[in-house]
Amino acid sequence: DQQVKQNSPSLSVQEGRISILNCDYTNSMFDYFLWYKKYPAEGPTFLISISSIKDKNEDGRFTVFLNKSAKHLSLHIVPSQPGDSAVYFCAASVWSQNFVFGPGTRLSVLP
């Protein structure tokens, strides 16, 4: 049973618009959530994270929102740029131990 789900395998967005990537989880013990970006044939790179004591964390164009009651988090990218085209993984952990990754969402930002 998948503990971390990303129900949209792919997403296309026009350059300059907002990209919203969604992630749902089932384990209420998760207390730390992360987003990674991955290009083909490369390792994932850390983007942004949020702990369960917060509901929002911002870093430049990237904002992560956490809704604990709905067990849902989302990554907003504003404005989207062609270089943002990649696969985005959501990950969750309990006290930073044994991260569980979602299946990923492929984002395509169209010029």
> Which residue number, 67 or 96, has a Cβ lying nearer to other proteins?
96
Q: Which residues bind other proteins (CB under 8 A)?
A: 6, 9, 32, 34, 36, 41-46, 49, 51, 89, 91, 95-99, 101-104
Phi/psi region, residue 53 (left: phi>0; alpha: psi -120 to 50; beta: rest), is alpha
Tell me how far, at minimum, the Cβ of 23 lies from other proteins, in Å. 11
Q: Give me the residues paired with residue 66 across strands.
A: 73
Amino acid in the structure at residue 16:
G
> Which residue number, 82 or 103, has a Cβ lying nearer to other proteins?
103
> Which residue number, 4 or 77, has a Cβ lying nearer to other proteins?
4
